[in-house]
């Protein structure tokens, strides 16, 4: 009898499906700022842990393991932290360099969902476009007036200067100079 209970307990432990309510699914269009932030995330070394996105595609968070000796990342807790910071629903977009968000095009696993940190920006943008997460990233003129189309800087794109500032902010956070809240507020200001 004791062995039967042991078997049932072990079976429930190993075969109970993981809670997936924190994993993203459905249609999602990433803002240009989030595309640039995801590119930054992909290039984190040694390996980025998790990337969360608000369900409107406008804001997000990432987690890293700087020491390389981290425990398993808690997806539910990561999503709740993102929701608290942005006051919007957040879901897991990527785990390490695999996009987990299922939108009908992206299967959420395997080679089709995998990105590499050494890819160029254009390769990453092309793959995100193929997977249905962005459209018209480099030519987003449908919402702009003719005068803004002719300007040399597209306000929907993040400039190299802004990306550089984001990296500096992240470095300050990693060094403990900024709190998570200060980092989030500064990042929001830069991405607006």
What secondary structure, in 3-state letters, does 85-147 show?
HHCCCEEEEEECCEECCECCCCCCCCHHHECCCCCCHHHHHHHHHHCCCCCCCCCCCCCCCHH
Mean pLDDT of the chain: 76
Helix (H) / strand (E) element for 60: namely strand 60-64
Q: What is the pLDDT of residue 142?
A: 32
Look at residue 16 and tell me whether its pLDDT is greater than 70.
no
Reported confidence tier of residue 2, pLDDT bands at 50, 70, 90: low
What is the model's pTM? Answer: 0.62
If DSSP codes are grouped into helix, strand and coil, which group holds residue 58?
coil
Predicted local confidence at residue 161, as pLDDT: 72
Residue with the larger pLDDT of the pair 178 and 156: 178
Determine the Cα–Cα distance for residues 65 and 148; give it in Å rounded to an integer.
41
Structure token digits, residue 56: 């409107």
Q: Residue 39: is its pLDDT beyond 80?
A: yes
The CA distance from 162 to 179, in Å, is 20
- Backbone φ and ψ of 140, nearest 5°: -90, 75
User: What percent of the chain shows pLDDT beyond 90?
Assistant: 40
- Rounded to whole angstroms, the Cα distance separating 49 from 78 reads 11
pLDDT score recorded for residue 186: 82
Nearest to 166 by CA among 70, 62, 85: 62
pLDDT exceeds 90 at position 134: no
pLDDT in tens, 63-119: 887 666 666 678 888 899 999 999 999 999 999 999 999 999 998 889 999 999 899
Instruction: Report which DSSP code applies to 25.
Output: B
Q: Could you state, in order of their start, the residue ranges of all structural domains in the chain? A: 19-137, 159-192
34-47 average pLDDT score: 90
Per-residue pLDDT tens for 135-146? 744 433 333 333
The pLDDT tens digits of the residues spanning 107-128 come to 888 999 999 989 999 999 999 9
Cβ(6)–Cβ(75) under 8 Å? no
């Amino acid at each position: 009898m004791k062995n039967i209970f042991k078997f049932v307990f072990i079976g429930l432990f190993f075969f109970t499906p993981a809670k997936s309510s924190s994993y993203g699914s459905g249609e999602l269009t990433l803002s240009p700022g989030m595309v640039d932030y995801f590119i930054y995330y992909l290039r984190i070394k040694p390996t980025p842990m998790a990337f969360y996105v608000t369900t409107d595609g406008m804001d997000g968070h990432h987690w890293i393991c700087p020491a390389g000796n981290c425990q398993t990342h808690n997806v539910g807790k990561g999503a709740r932290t993102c929701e608290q910071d942005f006051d919007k629903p957040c879901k897991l977009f990527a785990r390490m360099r695999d996009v987990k968000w299922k939108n009908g095009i992206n299967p959420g696993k395997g080679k089709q969902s995998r990105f590499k940190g050494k890819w160029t920006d254009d390769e990453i943008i092309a793959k995100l476009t193929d997977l249905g997460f962005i459209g018209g990233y480099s030519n987003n003129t449908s919402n702009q007036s003719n005068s803004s189309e002719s300007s040399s800087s597209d306000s929907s794109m993040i400039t190299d200067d802004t990306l550089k500032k984001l990296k500096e902010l992240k470095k300050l956070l990693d060094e403990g100079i900024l709190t998570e809240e200060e980092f989030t507020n500064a990042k929001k200001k830069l991405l607006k």
